[in-house]
Structure 1
Amino acid sequence: MIQTKQLFGLPFVDATPSQWYTHIKTILHDRGKAFLVTANPELVLRALREPSYEAILRQATFITPDGIGVTAASKRMGAPLTATLPGIETARELLRTADALKKRVFLLGGRPEVMKSLIHQLSIRFPNIRFVGTFHGFGKTEEATQAIAEAQADLILVALGAPKQEEWIASVYDQVDHGIFIGVGGAFDVWSGHSKRAPKLFRRLKLEWLYRISTHPRGFEKLKDLLLFLTLVLRKKSTLS
């Protein structure tokens, strides 16, 4: 049983990477069902601003702390989470397990020109996965939902970016019998080779968020959100002191 801790009114997974990966891979092995949200500071801030989005996050089976900003905030606020659990690492662990078990994977989101190279790259790295469908994310929701259900997908990776990917998963989750749904943001661009992940040094220092901000077209806007998140954490800390 995975433990959780309340942070900003949301139940965050409180586990080591090993505990978390073992738990979620067991769900995939057993053809279970789950809705995963990987929450970074920007996503948490959106949930605090928009009650409708917060309600969607509460529908998730699991919310993981994606980024050192969330785990640092948890310590500052007196409810320390055990570890940062990056969403891209969770998705990669699920793909490795899907490959070992010859599971069925569906890919939704990303630009049409990305999907072809994405399938090529993933097929090389995970040759035993059955890629049972793709949808570029700009079509009709009903068509995508039907395709996922008919394909009996075990793992559905949704790369629409927040908040669209969480909203989309919540809208279709009850319409399928099984499968792990996870929003992966810009992972398709990284895996397909269309953009680069942060260098290893940034990842080792838990500064991947800084690399993303510095290279993102909306980097300044994201930096403002991060500073607002920090201010919010400090205010909440002061009320607890």
Structure 2
Amino acid sequence: MAADSLLFSNSRPPGAQVPFAHAVAPLREHLGSRTVWFVPWAGGELDDYTGWVGDALREVLGDVDLRGLHREPDPAATLRAADPERETVFVGGGNTFRLRRRLGDNGVLAALRERTDLRYAGASAGSNLACPTIRTTNDMPIVEPGGLDALARIPVQINPHYLDPDPHSTHRGETREERIAEFHEENAVAVVGLREGAWLLRSGERLTLDGYTARLFRRGQEPAELAAGTDVSWLLATPGS
């Protein structure tokens, strides 16, 4: 059975100034005193991004041993040698297509698929990577990703940064809900639209939504609202999801 996965829509809800301050309890429980291998390849300036996340986590959690996996001579080998009782992985946000391409090229994607015993945390693109595919990202395909398949740490798709339709908007393109409906024209897997500040936590055969609300999309069904604290473990065993 795969180790726990903590999957954020983003690092902070609207109006919040301090990243991750809304999720201190689940982060402290999930990371514990483990060394955190941070995966920054969805971003541009890898050192800067790693430093920013490390500073943010230390501000809310205290002493955190966060290390940039990109600094390792062989990042994939580092993950393959990691001790699941003492080490974990955190995949940051940015561009999901770039993340998928870089992790495929450097072997980290394959290593993460092997090391399902390592606890996994992700935000935005990192949460997309935990799904069966990256097809429900919001990002522009700025690179050829080398494939759309991902890690399948959960059997449902996430749409991070989910935005509800604005009745006053002058935008004439598809709403997020319409884009997910297009996804379901071709795919049966359920999609959880995580609003800012929300996260999913998979622990064994339990899947819960917390932090904020979300919207659940299933093929052939009306979208459903999910309140913070909702147990959605049934999604783990739903055919087609």
TM bracket, shorter-chain basis? 0.3 to 0.5
Say which structure is richer in helix.
1
Name the TM-score, length of structure 1 as normaliser: 0.37
